[in-house]
Chains A and B, each alone.
Chain A
Amino acid sequence: MSELLLEIRDLHVHFSSAHGMVYALNGVNLRVHKHETMGLVGETGCGKSMTALAVLGLIPPPGRLIRGRILFEGEDLTRKSDAELRAIRGNRMSIIFQSPGSSLNPVYQAQAQPLDVLKYHRRLKKEEAREQLLNLLGRLGMPDPERIVRAYPHELSGGMQQRVMIAMAMLCNPALLIADEATSALDVTIQAQILKLLKSLRSEFGTSLLLITHDLGIVAQVCDRVAVMYTGSVVEIADVVSVFERPQHPYTQGLLHSIPVITRPQRRLEEVHGSVPSMIDPPTGCRFHPRCPRAAGLCCQQEPELRETLPGHRVACHYPG
């Protein structure tokens, strides 16, 4: 495996709320290597997006980073000042969000925000910045970039808006691009185009991609490795083929069983029983044990650690397999 780019170690983020402490992230462990596409999957509320925001140092208040380290290009981001983080965001590390429509400021032309990015990270003059932006949009396969950059966001389609967002994120040629549900709000056909575009970024720019999604189909298509999250921690992490062929964690198995398979005769889909536990009062021990078909005495008492059960395949379960 190539060089390590991002390493998240034992990350804990908690929110204080009127109803009590919300344990949003409980020991996330994750590694992203250079030139790698890492998938991060899980249900709504399992902490995928929070992990991304924590990496960028943008945990929204009243959330607080309780414990853990985030090593990016060998430096611990949790110890950086706000100004130092600003110099990294959008420069070495970028993010694109789910809703491209609302990620562009409606009062400006589409070029305004990308040009700002170049202004504060590269100190470029407006004409140089514009040239660079048009150049990049061309490389990203955008037809008629001249017209697009002058359009207002509401005049662009969702796919175009997301392409502008991607261009904006890629302007400074970051080492890591986080795509937080970047294709979830788009039509399937546009989704396919954007995914293709994201895939091409790696070969063209050498960017590592952290792809956050709840769509296992996307993971299978695009990712090299995948991490499965449940209730604020990573429960299984391995290369894509291994996870799909030999899932070790009962939660991952449940997720995979709940996908309809078009070639198989129609039958009732299996589901993961129960529902996601409250993160104010999470279950003791393994947080999956109330829903787990394999749960035994040990599971309610002790939280399992991530350990390697197959070569390169790590899982947090007392009874994997």
Chain B
Amino acid sequence: MMGLCIMVAFVGIAFVCPWLAPYPEDRIEVHTDQRLLPPSRAHWFGTDDLGRDIFSRILLGTRISLHSAILVLLITISLGVFLGVVAGSFGGYVDEAIMRLTDIFLAFPRLILAMVIATILGPNVTNSIVAMSLSWWPVYARLVRGQALSLREQDFVLAARSLGASRGHLIVSHILPNCLSPVIIQASLDVGRVIMTSAALGFIGVGAQPPIPEWGIMISLGRNYFLDQPWIAAFPGLAIIVTVFGFNLFGDGLRDVLDPRWRSEAE
């Protein structure tokens, strides 16, 4: 429930942040006279080294995080589910080829692979999304393939085949829908991870670039002032923690809700 609240709040803020933020112009505008102010009534979370309101920038940052999380998951899920279902349903050489490819991708730590790809493509938001998608899809391909493999042996698939269903029909209406609930659960847990990874890419400078109010970049900039003005790095960090925690809780809750057997027992 708490997870759901945090998630709804996060998505809500992402939509209305330009109106909600007290100083929306602080997205890029610099105020040299208000540098490094501590948290106060005017600036709830203080200001950074260029005099920008941190609270406003954190609110504006939700939109960037949500944008990349949604795009990354859309791309990884479509690619991963497609390849996974194909591998699991057809088997043989197709399966071998796809799974060895995923093995190659999974052999690299995900963050490092994303960093390498982002660096090669050049650091900006779009490329960091592409980089994360490319390093993320094998998780879904594996998950779905495993599901498809076990579903293929299910009696209802044999029953449908024995009553005249074609291969395409079997895949689309018997195997695919049964694969989806683990995918949805994985995705809801991954939202948090994607937000964290995109912050990490921003932090090390291969993701979004300043002056975009991305949480990772804000932490990275705040690092230099951490001893004397800790609020510059601390508040964006807190935002990441709360968001990721919220999505993880939400994913756990979703897992319980999505299992129809569990649901009917609860009723």
Q: Which of B154, B160, B261 has the most CB of A within 10 A?
A: B160
Which residues of A88-133 have CB atoms within 8 Å of chain B's CB atoms? 88-91, 94-95, 97, 99, 102-108, 113, 116-117, 120-121
- A315 on the B face (CB < 8 A): no
Q: How far is the CA of A102 from the CA of B158 in the complex (A)?
A: 10
- B40 on the A face (CB < 8 A): no
> Which residues of A are interface residues toward B (Cβ below 8 A)?
56, 58, 86-91, 94-95, 97, 99, 102-108, 113, 116-117, 120-121, 152, 154-155, 165, 168-169
Instruction: Check if B169 sits within 8 Å of A155, measured CB to CB.
Output: no
Instruction: Check if B159 sits within 8 Å of A103, measured CB to CB.
Output: yes
Q: How far is the CA of A154 from the CA of B177 in the complex (A)?
A: 17
Q: How far is the CA of A80 from the CA of B31 in the complex (A)?
A: 80
Q: How far is the CA of A86 from the CA of B170 in the complex (A)?
A: 13
Instruction: Check if A97 sits within 8 Å of B163, measured CB to CB.
Output: no
Q: A152-B260, A154-B261 are in contact. Are A94 and B163 (CB under 8 A)?
A: yes
- B165 on the A face (CB < 8 A): yes
Instruction: Check if A120 sits within 8 Å of B164, measured CB to CB.
Output: yes
Q: How far is the CA of A102 from the CA of B153 in the complex (A)?
A: 11
Instruction: Check if B162 sits within 8 Å of A89, measured CB to CB.
Output: yes
Q: A107-B177, A116-B169 are in contact. Are A87 and B155 (CB under 8 A)?
A: no
Instruction: Check if B163 sits within 8 Å of A90, measured CB to CB.
Output: yes
A-contact bits for B155-177, CB 8 A (1 contact / 0 none): 11011111111100100011001
Nearest B-chain residue to A113, judged by Cβ: B160
Instruction: Check if A106 sits within 8 Å of B178, measured CB to CB.
Output: yes
Pairs of residues from A and B, 8 with the lowest C-beta to C-beta distance, nearest first: A90-B163, A90-B164, A102-B155, A103-B159, A89-B164, A105-B156, A103-B155, A95-B162
- B32 on the A face (CB < 8 A): no
B163 contact from A99, A102, A107, A117, Cβ within 8 A? A117
Nearest A-chain residue to B160, judged by Cβ: A113
Q: How far is the CA of A154 from the CA of B261 in the complex (A)?
A: 8
Q: How far is the CA of A108 from the CA of B169 in the complex (A)?
A: 14
Instruction: Check if B162 sits within 8 Å of A58, measured CB to CB.
Output: yes
Instruction: Check if B166 sits within 8 Å of A116, measured CB to CB.
Output: no
- Chain B residues whose CB sits within 8 angstroms of the CB of A95 once the complex forms: 159, 162-163
A-contact bits for B227-267, CB 8 A (1 contact / 0 none): 00000000000000000000000000000000011001000
- Chain A residues whose CB sits within 8 angstroms of the CB of B161 once the complex forms: 58, 89
Q: Interface range on chain B: under 10, 10 to 19, 20 to 34, or 35 or more?
A: 20 to 34
- Chain A residues whose CB sits within 8 angstroms of the CB of B178 once the complex forms: 105-107
A154 contact from B155, B164, B260, Cβ within 8 A? B260
A103 contact from B156, B164, B166, Cβ within 8 A? B156
> Which residues of B are interface residues toward A (Cβ below 8 A)?
154-156, 158-166, 169, 173-174, 177-178, 260-261, 264
- Chain A residues whose CB sits within 8 angstroms of the CB of B155 once the complex forms: 97, 99, 102-103
- Chain B residues whose CB sits within 8 angstroms of the CB of A169 once the complex forms: 163
- Chain B residues whose CB sits within 8 angstroms of the CB of A121 once the complex forms: 164
Nearest B-chain residue to A107, judged by Cβ: B177
| Contacts A113-B163, A116-B169, A168-B163 known; 5 new A-B pairs at CB < 8 A | A89-B161, A97-B159, A102-B155, A103-B159, A117-B164
Instruction: Check if B162 sits within 8 Å of A90, measured CB to CB.
Output: yes
- Chain A residues whose CB sits within 8 angstroms of the CB of B260 once the complex forms: 106-107, 152, 154
Q: How far is the CA of A155 from the CA of B267 in the complex (A)?
A: 13
Instruction: Check if A120 sits within 8 Å of B166, measured CB to CB.
Output: yes
Closest CB-CB distance, B258 to chain A, in whole Å? 11
Instruction: Check if B162 sits within 8 Å of A91, measured CB to CB.
Output: no
Q: A89-B164, A107-B177, A116-B169 are in contact. Are A155 and B156 (CB under 8 A)?
A: no
- Chain A residues whose CB sits within 8 angstroms of the CB of B160 once the complex forms: 105, 113, 116
- Chain B residues whose CB sits within 8 angstroms of the CB of A116 once the complex forms: 160, 165, 169, 173
Q: How far is the CA of A155 from the CA of B155 in the complex (A)?
A: 18
Instruction: Check if B159 sits within 8 Å of A154, measured CB to CB.
Output: no
Instruction: Check if A102 sits within 8 Å of B162, measured CB to CB.
Output: no
Q: How far is the CA of A58 from the CA of B155 in the complex (A)?
A: 13
Nearest B-chain residue to A120, judged by Cβ: B164
Nearest B-chain residue to A96, judged by Cβ: B159
A94 contact from B156, B162, B264, Cβ within 8 A? B162
- Chain B residues whose CB sits within 8 angstroms of the CB of A103 once the complex forms: 155-156, 158-159
- Chain B residues whose CB sits within 8 angstroms of the CB of A58 once the complex forms: 158, 161-162
B158 contact from A97, A120, A168, Cβ within 8 A? A97
Q: How far is the CA of A87 from the CA of B164 in the complex (A)?
A: 6
Q: How far is the CA of A99 from the CA of B173 in the complex (A)?
A: 20
Instruction: Check if B162 sits within 8 Å of A120, measured CB to CB.
Output: no
- Chain B residues whose CB sits within 8 angstroms of the CB of A107 once the complex forms: 177-178, 260
Q: How far is the CA of A94 from the CA of B230 in the complex (A)?
A: 73
- Chain B residues whose CB sits within 8 angstroms of the CB of A89 once the complex forms: 161-164
Instruction: Check if A155 sits within 8 Å of B164, measured CB to CB.
Output: no
Q: How far is the CA of A235 from the CA of B159 in the complex (A)?
A: 29
Closest CB-CB distance, B174 to chain A, in whole Å? 6
- Chain B residues whose CB sits within 8 angstroms of the CB of A104 once the complex forms: 156, 159
The 21 sampled A-B contact pairs (Cβ below 8 Å) are A58-B162, A86-B166, A87-B164, A89-B161, A90-B164, A103-B158, A103-B159, A105-B160, A105-B174, A105-B177, A105-B178, A106-B156, A107-B177, A113-B156, A113-B159, A113-B160, A117-B163, A120-B166, A152-B260, A154-B261, A165-B159
